[in-house]
Amino acid sequence: MNTPLLQQVLDRTTPVDDSPASHLEVNFGLLDEYSKREIRRAILTAVAVPGYQVPFGSREMPVARGWGSGGLQISLAIVGPYDVVKVIDQGDDEGVNAVNLRRLIVSSTGIPESTTPEDSTLIQTRHRIPEDPLDERHTLVLQVPVPEPLRGVERDMRELARMHAEADYARMWVSLYEDKVRNGVITRTTGYPCLVNGRYVIATTPIPRWDVPRLHRSRFLALFGAGREKRIYAVPPHTDVEPLTFEDVPFEVEVTPGASCRTCSSTESFLVEIPGATAGDGGHWVCSDSDWCRRNRERLQHPSRGDRS
Amino acid sequence: MGYAAARGGLKAIEAAERLVARERVLGESQWLESKQMIEKLRLAVDRVMGEGGLWDEHLAASALRQAEGDPIEAAHLLRSYRSTLPRLAYTTPVDVDDLTVLRRIVPAFRNPPGPQLLGRTTDYTGRLLDTDDETSQRTAAEKMAAFIEENVTISKAIDGDAEPTDIRQPRRLLDLLRDLDAVVDRRRTDDPEPFDITRHPARPPATRSARLATMARAETGALVNVWYRNILGPDGYLHEITLGEVRHGRLPVTVIHPLTGDPVSISDVRVTEVEAIEDLNGIDEDRGRFDVGYGLCFGHNEKKAIAMANLDIACERDKGRSFLEQSILLTTDGLDASGFLEHLKLPHYVTFRSMMERKAAIRQFQENT
Amino acid sequence: MTFADNILSVRGLSKDFVLHTIDGRRVEALRGVDLDILPGEHVALAGSSGAGKSSLLKCIYRTYEPSAGSVVLRLRSGSRIDLTLLSDQEMSYLRGRDIGYVSQFLRAEPRRGPLDIVARAGVSRGMDRNTARDAAAVSLKRLNIDEKLWDVHASVLSGGEKQRINLAAGTISSPQLLLLDEPVSALDPANREAALDLIGDLATQGVAVLAVFHDVEAMERLASRIVLMRDGRVESSGEPSSMLEILTQGARR
Amino acid sequence: MTTDWALRVSSLGKIHGSADLRALEDTGPDIGTAKSAITGSIVAAWDVGFEVSPGEALGVIGESGSGKSTVMRCIAGDQPSTSGEVHLRTVDDGRTNVLELDPSARRRLRISDLAVVYQDPAEGLRLNVTAGGNIAEALTAAGWRHFGRIRDRAAELLERTEVPHSRMDDLVGTFSGGMRQRVQLAKALANEPPVLLLDEPTTGLDASVAAGVLDLIRNLLEETGVAAVVVSHDFAVIEMLTTRCVVMNHGRIVEAGLTDRLLEDPHHPYSQRLVGAARA
């Protein structure tokens, strides 16, 4: 009866010696190997059942719950010594949350970081999908504050579980119907509810509607982590992601006619507004994806240099 | 650029960290020692261990210091530290009858079997703020301590081993009530594995062990609030219990030695334990008997243990009819609630831009119709 | 005439009521009634109040459940069926199609106009909507229901108007057998005339009629045969002329 | 002659408390109670059976506590039954006992195989949703995804149940009791269910409002060809809506028959008392 315990101690997975983090005091990726294994199992389930919210034993992380603890657990559970990490918040590599999380990932693993998707393999994000097209090399980890898309129509968790189990989404449709009746347009902003693989409705984290179409039949794997609510769900590559919309009411993304990025002049990226300091100053727009914006600007200034920065 | 406060990257963050670090050692006071906190701010340290779910007074004191006295933040530090530790062994089931009491009161009887032992408490002392200057306060306290040392023989009793077992391990009231057949018997005959809330999310409908574990780790204020809002508030699911037993004491913790296979005592933990007596009055309940709710948490934290015991029996009787269980499981964790609240401080300009766009769309629709 | 030609053959029909609320008292309403009706025949039931006339109609229609005996009806399809052996659902299906019943009072109806009530009766018996509406209009006109009232809720109409609407609804399609229970009792002379005229036409359409009238004149005018009942039995039966004599004598005595 | 059924209920039983069948021995109309002294359980319904054909309405009449609403709830799936079978023609051509379906499949029947109208509109409607939205719930559950067509269909149904078009986009919670019942009917009929259960559909409404709702139900039953079960304590309702009915007392059917026959020639002592009281 004692052997399993001893065996567990002896079997405890340790990072391989040549890993960049072998000199660190903490375990590679901060979490102990059992925890990582457990989280990976949840991820595998999530990939196997696209859109299903897999409950998992979310660990307390060195960031507050609601600050990306779910995304961080996913990243740390799947990160390997040869990964290159990019972390963004609102599309910005320099956002405070992005900096904090990137520091934790890099310092606990020793892996290199990048701001360019081209060079990255693991991209953790809060509220955006990078403008660059992502592909098979990329795993996108999205931080999810509220994973339950149906919470607005139902509070009882037992009933919520039943609704998902039976694909009973009529009340979600009713809320969209009521929205359109009352307001003339569908007023959902970010985190638009989508049907994944024709089966489960998910909350697309609070990414803007602009980003939603890029989840549809994507080439990359998207993993959604909600640490506080202890859920992981996934959109595997080449999976249908359809925003819930009526056949005769087109899905609308955020577009402001005439707006362009003041820095790179782009009209084809997701723009955020910089309000003017005074009432008279009309303000301006900039790309939310700061790295894409920088490269776009360089591309315009030095067309000969090509795509890479 | 806008959002300068939330942007600025690594440099700004590092500057913020330096400010915190500097104030920790600067200022005119001494370095705050862990030992001092364990002895003098005992209830704060106990609370952090309870909410952090980790018994280690020194780590808890360190956390409290690092968190500048914020118990929720300190509990967070303990818990996230714990996340990095592999789980190497499980203790044997703790037998609460092994509790050596430091304090024990039985409000349900004037003369219960065993003592009414008040122990270290200010429950019965006037809440009078000492407004003397610090030096006078200190002098007075030192005098009092010296007097006690010379004239009163209670110091040994606190250790709990200088007195006969029946005083320090008194028979519990519940056993007496059971002998009188005055309590419904809900004891299970099977022995299911307790639900491990650190490995699986506890969601309604949950087992009793999941609810108890959640409450044991809950933020004290949150749990007291759930209790109170269910007594006085809009929900009103709760029925006020009679306290059968409130205990604070030391409990030995034992593991099986991996090599010898023998049980080895590895530590004593201090816990607060409460048994709450519930008067059954539902149509489908046995009006002729009582039922019992149970609470147990790390350290000396009577507020939490009492709320826990009352909520335990309330949940049992509610049988999932209301949102009580969901409230307990989902809303009482300090890390969850405060983390989510504080995340509002993070940049939300992508969301806000999306919202602004919809506002414009709605207004345009309104203008067109 | 042979038995096979009958539209209706009633044999040994009896009805006992057991009144549980009055110490289980037994009331014998019918005591072995035999009766045959041929196609196109108009049989009027005569007899004093309590003789069993209405009970006989209700037992045939199964508003009362017969205690004994048989009620064999020839259906439109030509087959013969004992109504006492039918399930409730089967009986329910035959009602209106092969056997009709017009009571003294209009059954509780939703707030509908006369035209709607009569037309719906036709639709429920298998007529298409337009045909039923046309037929209803003809029938109401014939019964002197003012066209202005055709869409007025029937509940506010007079007793005489309701009775005519009821008659129109009951006669809109031709069943094999029509049971009439005092269908003109509340009518003034002019409207009574129209109603009797309409009933008289049924026989010419081949509908067998079994009727209870409260007055001799109606029987005299419509009946091809009169059956006299007493104490739940058929006492005698015959040509109207001879039977009316017996009836008027009986009345004088 | 057609007696093909749309709904068939047989040997339906519901016992609250211990499932010990000895409870059947000391309960029922002859004993005068539904509560067993032997087992302490309540036999809310036992051995209840009937068939309903398309276009037919069957009444279930009895006093409160007779078990009539229990029967309805067991058929609807709102309550688990203790025993018995319920077959719907549209489910596996009537071969499957729907009581044996798993809860999820059972709930799915409520989308378009079986609809219920409750006495309390709050049970069948969401009061914080508009009249049109309530109907949209039924339609979207059945797969409707075209906003315009959902609007049109909702408007058509509300017109049919005589709800003013101007109120289509008002919250049902702002409606009067009679109007809520009309919306509930519209929602129930949204997917043209072959079977409709009505539980005291006009009880609790003012007399004049009740009469209007009753008229509407009668018209709908005639026009839709739905097979209906009408549960009521009120003979006026049963008489207006049904051609056949069963009388329940202490959890059992004491008598079944054509509605006019039951009113004019009730056989069972309990039925006679009930009719006597209604006629008084």
Residues of D in contact with C111 (CB under 8 A): 211-212, 215
Active site residue A264: yes
Q: Which residues contact B351 (CB under 8 A, 6 or more apart)?
A: A127, A189, A190, A206, A208
Subunits with at least 3 CB pairs below 8 A relative to chain D?
Answer: A, C
What is the spatial distance between Cα D29 and Cα D254, in angstroms, rounded to a whole number? Answer: 8
How far apart are alpha carbons C207 and A138 in whole angstroms? 87
CA-to-CA separations, D257 to A292, B28, C143, D48, D60, in angstroms, rounded: 80, 97, 34, 14, 11
Taking residue A14's Cβ as centre, other Cβ atoms within 10 Å add up to 11
Domain count for chain A: 2
Q: Do the strands D7-16 and A193-196 form a parallel or antiparallel pair, or are they unpaired?
A: unpaired
Residue A103 forms part of a structural domain: yes
Calpha distance C61→C58 (Å, rounded): 5
Looking at the predicted structure, is the pLDDT value of residue A24 above 90? Answer: no
DSSP C77: T
Cβ–Cβ below 8 Å for D141 and A170: yes
Regarding whether A126 and A270 lie in a shared domain, the answer is no
Report the C-alpha gap between C115 and C113 in whole angstroms.
Answer: 6
Domain identity same for A209 and A262: no
C-alpha distances (whole Å) from D120 to each of A9, A277, D57, D108 are: 62, 57, 21, 22
**pLDDT for the residue numbered B8:** 63
User: Does the beta-carbon distance from A178 to D130 stay under 8 Å?
Assistant: yes
The residue count of chain B comes to 369
- Residue D107's pLDDT is what? 93
Amino acid at D70: T
The lowest-confidence range among A43-52, B93-102, C184-193 is: C184-193
ipTM for the assembly:
0.87
Q: How far is the first Cα of chain A from the last one, in angstroms, to the nearest whole number?
A: 59
| pLDDT at residue C173 in the model | 84
Q: Which residues have a Cβ under 8 Å from the Cβ of B73 and sit 6 or more positions away?
A: B63, B67
Catalytic pick from A29, A95, A194, A264?
A: A264
Contact by Cβ (8 Å): A269, A292:
yes
| Neighbour count for residue D184 (Cβ, 10 Å) | 28
| Residue D168: closest C-alpha in chain A | A181
Six-digit token pair at C9?
A: 């053959």
Same domain, A91 and A207: yes
Any catalytic annotation for residue A51? Answer: yes
- Residue B14 three-state SS: helix
Q: What is the per-residue pLDDT across D241-250, written as a single tens digit (0 to 9) for each?
A: 999 999 999 9
Nearest to A247 among D134, D138, D146 (CB): D146
* Contact: D150, A246; criterion CB under 8 Å: yes
Q: Which of C22, C88, C118 should we substitute to test contact with D (largest number of D Cβ atoms within 10 Å)?
A: C88
Catalytic residue (one of A51, A70, A71, A95):
A51
Beta bridge partners of D248: D253
With an 8 Å Cβ cutoff, are B10 and A208 in contact? no
- Beta-bridge partner residues of C230: C233
- Inside any domain, residue A164: no
User: Which residues form the domain of A304?
Assistant: 255-309
Q: Is residue A306 scored above 90 in pLDDT?
A: no
d(CA A120, CA A134): 10
Same domain, A45 and A92: yes
User: Is residue A193 within 8 Å of residue A149, measured between CB atoms?
Assistant: yes
Q: In terms of CA atoms, which chain A residue is nearest residue D138?
A: A170
Q: Which of D219, D260, D267 sits opposite C110 (nearest CB)?
A: D219
- The stretches of D121-206 forming alpha helices (DSSP H) are 121-124, 131-141, 147-160, 177-189
Q: What is the largest CA-CA distance in chain B?
A: 90
Percent of chain C predicted with pLDDT > 90: 56
Q: D237 to chain C: nearest residue by CA? A: C108
- In chain B, the N- to C-terminal Cα span, in Å, equals 38
- pLDDT class of B30 with cuts at 50, 70, 90: confident
In a domain, residue A163? The reply is no
Least confident residue range of A31-35, A80-84, C69-73: A31-35
Residue A93 lies in a domain: yes
In Å, how far is D162's CA from the nearest CA of chain C?
14
A70 and B CB contact within 8 Å:
no
Based on the domain organization, do A271 and A223 belong to the same domain? Answer: no
Q: Which of A215, A243, A271 delimits the end of a domain? A: A243
pLDDT at B159 over 90: no
Question: In the 3-class helix/strand/coil scheme, how is D31-78 assigned residue by residue?
Answer: CCECECCCCCCEEEEEEEEEEECCCCEEEEECCCCCCHHHHHHHHHCC
Q: Chain B partners of A92 at a C-beta cutoff of 8 Å?
A: 7, 347
Kindly tell me if the per-residue pLDDT of B165 is higher than 80.
no
Q: What is the mean pLDDT of chain D?
A: 93
Asked if A2's CB is within 8 angstroms of B261's CB, the reply is yes
Which chain B residues have a beta carbon less than 8 Å from that of A31? 83-84
Check B84 against A128: CB less than 8 A apart: no
A282 and A209 housed in the same domain: no
DSSP B6: T
Least reliable range by pLDDT among A2-6, A209-213, B238-242, D24-28: A2-6
What is the rounded CA–CA span in Å between residue A175 and residue A181?
10
Based on the number of CB atoms within 10 Å of its own CB, is B130 exposed (0-12), middle (13-18) or buried (19 or more)?
Answer: exposed
Together in a domain, A97 and A236: yes
Q: Is A71 a catalytic residue?
A: no
Contact (Cβ atoms closer than 8 angstroms) between residue B99 and residue B114:
no
Residue of D nearest to A179 (CA): D133
Q: Is there a contact between D134 and D172 (Cβ–Cβ < 8 Å)?
A: yes
Shared domain check, A210 and A136:
yes
- Inter-chain contact A248–D140, Cβ cutoff 8 Å? no
State how far the Cα of A91 lies from the Cα of A103, in Å rounded to an integer: 17
Domain-by-domain residue ranges, chain B?
10-82, 96-121+167-186+193-332
> Tokens representing B41?
């701010």
CB contact under 8 A, A158 and B8: no
Contact C21 D214 (CB under 8 A): no
> Which range among B110-124, B188-202, B220-234, D258-272 shows the weakest confidence by mean pLDDT?
B110-124
Quick one: pLDDT at residue A15? 39
Per DSSP, chain D holds a count of helices (H) and strands (E) of: 10, 9
Predicted pLDDT at B155:
44
Q: How far apart are the first and last CA of chain D?
A: 38
In a domain? residue A74:
yes
Same domain for A91 and A218: yes
* Residue environment code for B82-120, b if the CB has 16+ CB neighbours within 10 A, otherwise e: bbbeeeeeeeeeeeeeebbbbbbbbebeeebebbebebe
- CB contact (8 A) between residue A66 and residue B358: no
CA distance A7 to A29: 23
Residue A303 and residue A234 share a domain: no
Q: Measured between CB atoms, which of A162, A182, A248 is closest to D147?
A: A248
Nearest to D137 among A171, A246, A248 (CB): A171
Give me the pLDDT at residue A5, please.
39
Reported as a pLDDT band with limits 50, 70 and 90, residue B321 is confident
Alpha helices, H only, A68-120: 69-78, 96-109
Indicate if the pLDDT at residue B115 is higher than 70: yes
Q: What is the spatial distance between Cα B124 and Cα B130, in angstroms, rounded to a whole number? A: 16
- On whether residue A77 sits in a domain, the answer given is yes
Mean pLDDT across chain A? 89
Subunit contact D212:C21, Cβ cutoff 8 A: no
The mean per-residue pLDDT over the stretch A95-112 comes to 93
Which token pair is B207? 């087992």
Using an 8 Å CB-CB cutoff, list residues of chain D that contact chain C.
1-3, 51, 53, 56, 211-212, 214-216, 218-219, 222, 236, 239-240, 243-244, 256-258, 260-261, 264-265, 267-269, 272-273, 276
Contact of chains D and C by CB distance (3 or more pairs under 8 angstroms): yes
- Say if CB D106 and CB D78 are below 8 A apart: no
Would residue A38 count as lying in a domain? yes
Q: Which of A187, A210, A243 is the last residue before a domain boundary?
A: A243
Task: Give this prediction's pTM.
Answer: 0.88
pLDDT digits (tens, 9 = 90+) for D103-162: 999 999 999 999 999 999 999 999 999 999 999 999 999 999 999 999 999 999 999 999
Q: What span, in angstroms and rounded, lies between the C-alpha atoms of A60 and B53?
A: 11
CA distance D174 to D106: 32
One-letter amino acid at D120 equals D
Which residues are bridge partners to A193 per DSSP?
Answer: A203
Q: Picking from A17-26, B170-179, B250-259, which range would have the lowest pLDDT averaged per residue?
A: A17-26
Task: Check CB contact under 8 Å for C64 and D218.
Answer: no
Q: How far apart are CA B320 and CA A230, in angstroms?
A: 22
A275 and A184 share one domain: no
Q: Under an 8 Å CB criterion, which residues of A touch D?
A: 162, 165-166, 168-171, 173-174, 177-178, 180-182, 246-249
What's the pLDDT at D267? 95
pLDDT band per the 50, 70, 90 thresholds, residue A207: very high
CB contact under 8 A, D257 and C108: no
Q: Which of A153, A246, A252 to mutate to test the interface with D (most CBs of D within 10 A)?
A: A246
Q: Tell me whether residue A194 is one of the annotated catalytic residues.
A: no
Q: Are B298 and B315 in contact (CB under 8 A)?
A: no
If we measure between CA atoms, which residue out of D65, D73, D62, D75 comes closest to residue D11? D75
| Residue to substitute from B217, B343, B352, interface A, most A β-carbons within 10 A | B343
Among partner residues B343, B349, B361, which is closest to A67 by beta-carbon distance?
A: B343
Contact D236 C108 (CB under 8 A): yes
Residue D171 CB burial class (10 angstroms; 0-12, 13-18, ≥19): middle
Residue A51 maps to a domain: yes
In this complex, the residue of A206, A210, A274 whose CB is nearest that of residue B1 is: A274
A116 with A229, same domain: the answer is yes
Cβ–Cβ of D267/C111 closer than 8 Å? no
A36 by Cβ neighbours in 10 Å (0-12 / 13-18 / 19+) ranks as buried
State which residue of chain B sits closest to A185, comparing Cα positions: B362
- Is C64 an interface residue toward D (CB < 8 Å)? yes
- Mean pLDDT over B163-171 rounds to 77
Q: Are C174 and C202 spatial neighbours (Cβ–Cβ below 8 Å)?
A: yes
Catalytic residue among A29, A191, A227, A293: A293
Q: Does C20 touch chain D (CB under 8 A)?
A: yes
Cβ-nearest to D240 among C89, C94, C108:
C108
Q: What phi and psi values does residue B101 have, to the nearest 5 degrees?
A: -80, 140
Mean pLDDT for B95-101 is 93
